[in-house]
Amino acid sequence: MEKVLAHSLFSDFDISLFVSGKHFRLYEKFGAHLISVDGLTGTYFSVWAPNAQAVHLIADFNDWNKVSHPLNRRLDSSGIWEGFIPGVGKGEVYKFLIKGFGGEELEKGDPYAKRWEHPPKTASIVWDNDFKWKDKTWMNKRAKLNALNKPMSVYEVHLGSWQRDPTEPDRVLTYIEIANSLVPYVLDMGFTHVEFMPVMEYPYFPSWGYQITGYFAASSRHGTPQELMYLINELHKNNIAVIMDWVPSHFPGDAHGLYHFDGTHLYEHSDMRKGFHPDWKSYIFNYDRNEVRSFLISNAIYWLDKFHIDGLRVDAVASMLYFDFSRQPGEAATNEYGGSENLGATQFLKELNVAVYRDFEGVHTIAEESSTYPGVTRPVHNGGLGFGMKWMMGWMNDTLKYFKNDPINRRYHHYQLTFSITYAFSENFMLPFSHDEVVHGKSSMIYKMPGDEWQKFANLRVLYAYMFTQPGTKLLFMGNEFAQTHEWDFKNSLDWHLLEHAPHRGMQKTVRAINKLYTSEPALYEHSFSPEGFEWINADDARHSIYIYIRKGKKAKDTLIVILNLTPVYRENYRVGLPFKAKWKEIFNTDAKEFFGSGKHNKQALLPEKEACHNRDYSIVLNVPPLAATILKQEK
């Protein structure tokens, strides 16, 4: 095998874009690339290490010799080391040996590697992105189906614990095995999207994927990058969109990762008030550095480009926006104007969203953002951060607080459920019941509910109906759809055996029916982010803990009336004011016996009467089932 030959994939224009923070396809240049040079096949390697004294390639092919294959430093000021090695092919295991700024030897994985060894091994692997995609039909219609005025019901999945092989419970399933069971399940349940918790390579399984070392590599725990592509391809063939959790907020301090990469604080901020996260004991990217912004935005673009991802849920945005996030007074840095806002991070997020929405039709970025930062989903050209959606954390917290109350006391907390409408249209909100709500002693969703077994399940059914009939898109964590009883345990499969029991089957049927209702009734999604799609009929019946509201689509005939009874008391002959004179019929009821309810229905058409109610000229009288949601629609 020949030694390292001088070769470069970088043009002067590439370098100019990179050092100015404007190169968003760095994965085409950095890392390991299988190419031919002057008739010789091999691999081109490149890495950014501006403060290194030397960089050598150590690998299986050279028996991890520390001196035999030195990379060449570019003569410009880019800090890039590179070279072409003939004969090195796909599957070669390698690292960069970096002689750092202070002379220390650092063995680092490739930040741009397309594949890594299975943890606890930590080396990179020469690989490619070759895959024969068969999702052209989906990609051609994605912009229409994934639009903001279409239904978005997201099933959040942790690939390592959704299911396990019952004969080998300690083994996580492969991407292929997951595809074979997850795709038909999501299709049957009626979810429109899946969201994968991070699938980039990460060393520590209990981090759930949120401590990433291989930003450009699919986790080897489940197979090859091509097998992840197969999973995504199968979802797309069934018109199911794929959202991926993405973590540009922090990274771990593992010796083979990004931390102290060339003997200096290269990717992280050197000021640990800005560069270290006290909660997660991890390191925060230096968003002020042009090359770091290029790295991160290139990574986002990579997953959209090479893996056909339809959306990125951006983790921990609030921690990026503020220097004082989770820090005690006096412990936080400030910006150049003395404020707590991380101006580099806000600029990075704006550039990210501009690039994503410019280059990829029909995709979305979604901010997991818990602060009151204004304009998160406002376009950048209008002064916002440019996200497509934002998790509605305030709604989630208020809703769960309310539902934990014994129904006899809910009258005293009535406005916890009405308050969110006062700000529901200030952003494009997604309503989440995510993995974060069923771990760390918070209990499972079913055990947040008060009462006996029947009441717990009735409460959860009406909670989901309330969620899906409120403005905004929806996200439900795996297991919530059948009332998983244990808190989520990343080490084990969901408790699928619970579906042997009627209450859990009823819950699963409820969610399946709610998804069908949500995706088939335009009033529930056409105005998800606009006040014209929502109107209260009665928000003030605290005495009975009853809420009545209208959901409206573009056409009057699609109008729905939603009635929530959040006590276990059956209300007969309850009068409801009408949005307009018409006959109404019950189209959905969470108290149905097939859902494990008591079967209190309004079977007959509900005729309008010329009797004023709720400040409306016409009204109907109906029976309101206990701890249930009743949904009415105009009868044709």
Catalytic residues: 315, 368
Give the Cβ contact number of residue 601 at 10 Å.
16
> H helices within 24-79, ranges in order?
none
Question: What is the sign, positive or negative, of the torsion defined by CA atoms of 497, 501, 507, 513?
Answer: positive
Name the amino acid, one letter, at 265.
H
Report DSSP state, residue 268: B
- Between helix 175-189 and helix 502-520 the angle, nearest 10°, is 70
Distance CA 164, CA 167 (A): 9
User: Are residues 31 and 17 in contact, defined by beta-carbon separation less than 8 angstroms?
Assistant: no
**Rounded CA Rg of the chain:** 27
Distance CA 398, CA 629 (A): 19
What number of CA atoms fall less than 13 Å from residue 361's CA on the CB side?
A: 8
Report DSSP state, residue 363: -
Burial of 604 (0-12, 13-18, 19+ CB in 10 A): exposed
Distance CA 510, CA 369 (A): 29
State both tokens at 164.
């396990």
For β-strands 153-157 and 193-196, DSSP reports them as parallel
- Between helix 225-237 and helix 175-189 the angle, nearest 10°, is 20
Helix (H) / strand (E) element for 178: namely helix 175-189
Give the Cβ contact number of residue 608 at 10 Å.
15
Distance CA 217, CA 221 (A): 11
User: For residue 106, which phi and psi values (nearest 5 degrees)?
Assistant: -125, 125
Distance CA 18, CA 197 (A): 29
State both tokens at 172.
């996580």
Give the Cβ contact number of residue 63 at 10 Å.
8
User: Are residues 545 and 567 in contact, defined by beta-carbon separation less than 8 angstroms?
Assistant: yes
